[in-house]
Amino acid sequence: MNWILTKIVSRSPIIKVNYRIVFPIIILCILSLILLNSTSTESIFIESTFSRQLLWLAMGVFVFIGSQFLRIQFFNEYAYHFYVILIIGILGTYFMPIKGGSQRWLFFGPISIQPSEMGKVLIVFVLAKLLSDQRENFNHLRILLITILLAGIPALMVFNQPDLGTAIIYLAITYPMLYWAGIRPYYLFIVVAPAISVLAAFNIIAFYLWMLLLIVLFIYSQPKVFEGVILFVLNVGCGLLTPYIWSNILYEHQRNRILTFLDPLRDPQGAGYQIIQSMTAIGSGGFWGAGLGHGTQTHLRYLPVRDTDFIISVSGEELGLFSIILILSSYIFFIYWMLVYAEKIRNNFSSLVMIGFVSILFVHLLVNMGMTVGLFPVTGLPAPFISYGGSFLLTCILMIGLINNIINNEI
């Protein structure tokens, strides 16, 4: 028992709050409380989203403090164990009842756990371990494929739950982490190249230009001839197959579903409905907003899931562009210092964890905010620290706690 504790708990942690990291987070949390106070209509205070969020934040303080005592290297040492537990956990959800149209939860009596939520953190650990274990002159392609595999397997599994948002997060964090670990950008490029080939295939001129660009890039990057040819053929294949699959294999309704997913506004009564209402809310806010409690879109329920997915729309409507700028400024401030600290940290694992965490938070924000203004499809990703919701908030605070811990103890 004692042995386990020494593994997990740091002997002599330095405990102090790094305000460069925590300050922007506090701003976001306060904004969240202000917005939830505005949207809370429950007559009983205890039942309101505001008071519950307050409760979660109080618990978050304990999570933050608790995380200061953790030994970061413990997660390095046992990253693969965690990974296996994660896979088993996600597998377990397949045997659980469907709730709200998806199977994301493990139910233990009254307690439900969403493994994919903690998975976001755990995948950062496993990738950080994989990448920090590499020596100089590692095989870039091999590492690239292993990384994509490690993130891709759980991503596919949660995508199947279905939980597109989380799958996006799993995959999205691989890029910054790979880049931070020093993989050649060329390899990052070839991963997205087939996807671009697919898109380019819808226009013959775009496709030719894209192929030309690929050839130039391949020649410029000078990969092994065999590798280059394989990649080129793969891309051409993707491009050529796409129109065939699109018109011969997919059914009309499937094509429509894809188009609607990419551009929800083409279906204003269905998929686009929420986004139109959200944009209406945000647009009507102007610079200073309608004032707290005065947003008609918010308070007359034209705005869907306003406490979670569309809390940004509430902010846009009631507090205007001003609040949006505040949110984005807080994030860019946070990102700036995260990158600065990540650079300073001697320990590769910890440095990569920092990059992974900041990526998780930033991708959440981008996808969520992009969704509210019609730039991204509705995926159900909340805005970190702003959206209402307990387990996600605690996950995010845990990440901040660990970041604070790393900065204090590993620089």
Of 32-40, 159-167, 200-208, 321-329: span binding other proteins (CB under 8 A): 321-329
Binding test (CB under 8 A) with other proteins, winner from 15, 88, 219, 325:
325
Give the Cα separation of 1 and 23 in Å (integer): 37
Binding test (CB under 8 A) with other proteins, winner from 206, 321, 326, 380:
321
Of 89-97, 234-242, 315-323, 387-395: span binding other proteins (CB under 8 A): 315-323
How many residues comprise the chain?
411
Tell me the number of residues near other proteins by CB under 8 A.
54
Q: Considering all CA atoms of the chain, what is the largest pairwise distance in Å, rounded to the nearest integer?
A: 70
Q: 103 vs 132, which CB is nearer to other proteins? A: 132
Binding test (CB under 8 A) with other proteins, winner from 179, 232, 246, 261:
179
- Side chain identity at residue 111, one-letter code: I
Q: 350 vs 404, which CB is nearer to other proteins? A: 350
What is the contact mask toward other proteins in residues 37 to 76, using x (rule: CB under 8 A)? Answer: ----------------------------------------
Closest contact distance (angstroms) between CB of 255 and other proteins is: 27
Query: Helical H runs in 9-132?
Result: 19-39, 49-67, 72-77, 79-93, 115-132
Task: Evaluate the CA torsion angle 398, 402, 403, 408 in order and state its sign.
Answer: positive
Is residue 244 involved in binding other proteins (CB under 8 A)? no
> Tokens 């307050």, residue?
54
With 0-12 / 13-18 / 19 or more C-beta atoms within 10 angstroms meaning exposed / middle / buried, residue 134 is middle
What is the contact mask toward other proteins in residues 350 to 389, using x (rule: CB under 8 A)? Answer: -x---x------x---x--xx--x-x--------------
User: Beta partners for 112?
Assistant: 107
Q: Which helix (H) or strand (E) holds 113?
A: strand 111-113
Measure CA of the first residue to CA of the last residue in the chain; give whole Å: 30
Q: 115 vs 176, which CB is nearer to other proteins? A: 176
Q: 179 vs 246, which CB is nearer to other proteins? A: 179
What is the contact mask toward other proteins in residues 135 to 154, using x (rule: CB under 8 A)? Answer: -xxx-x--------------
Of 86-94, 159-167, 234-242, 282-290: span binding other proteins (CB under 8 A): 282-290
- In DSSP notation, 264-319 reads GGG-TTTHHHHHHHHHHHHHHHTTT-S-TT--HHHHTT-STTTTTTTHHHHHHHHT
> Contact 312/370 with Cβ under 8 angstroms?
no
Of 50-58, 83-91, 110-118, 276-284: span binding other proteins (CB under 8 A): 276-284
Tokens of 13: 């942690």
Give the Cα separation of 231 and 39 in Å (integer): 52
Of 69-77, 163-171, 222-230, 331-339: span binding other proteins (CB under 8 A): 331-339
Tokens of 291: 């004032």
**CB atoms < 10 A from the CB of 303, how many?**
26
Is residue 299 involved in binding other proteins (CB under 8 A)? yes
Number of helices and strands (H, E) in the chain?
A: 19, 2
Backbone angles phi, psi at 248, to 5 degrees: -105, -30
Tokens of 60: 């978050």
Closest contact distance (angstroms) between CB of 370 and other proteins is: 7
Closest contact distance (angstroms) between CB of 303 and other proteins is: 9
Fill in the DSSP letter of residue 18: -
Binding test (CB under 8 A) with other proteins, winner from 320, 356, 377, 389:
320
Tokens of 365: 């924000």
Is residue 316 involved in binding other proteins (CB under 8 A)? yes
Give the Cα separation of 102 and 99 in Å (integer): 6
Closest contact distance (angstroms) between CB of 307 and other proteins is: 16
Q: 237 vs 283, which CB is nearer to other proteins? A: 283
Which residues are near other proteins by CB under 8 A? 131, 134, 136-138, 140, 176, 179-185, 277, 279-287, 296-297, 299-302, 316-317, 320-321, 324-325, 328, 331-332, 335-336, 339-340, 342-343, 348, 351, 355, 362, 366, 369-370, 373, 375
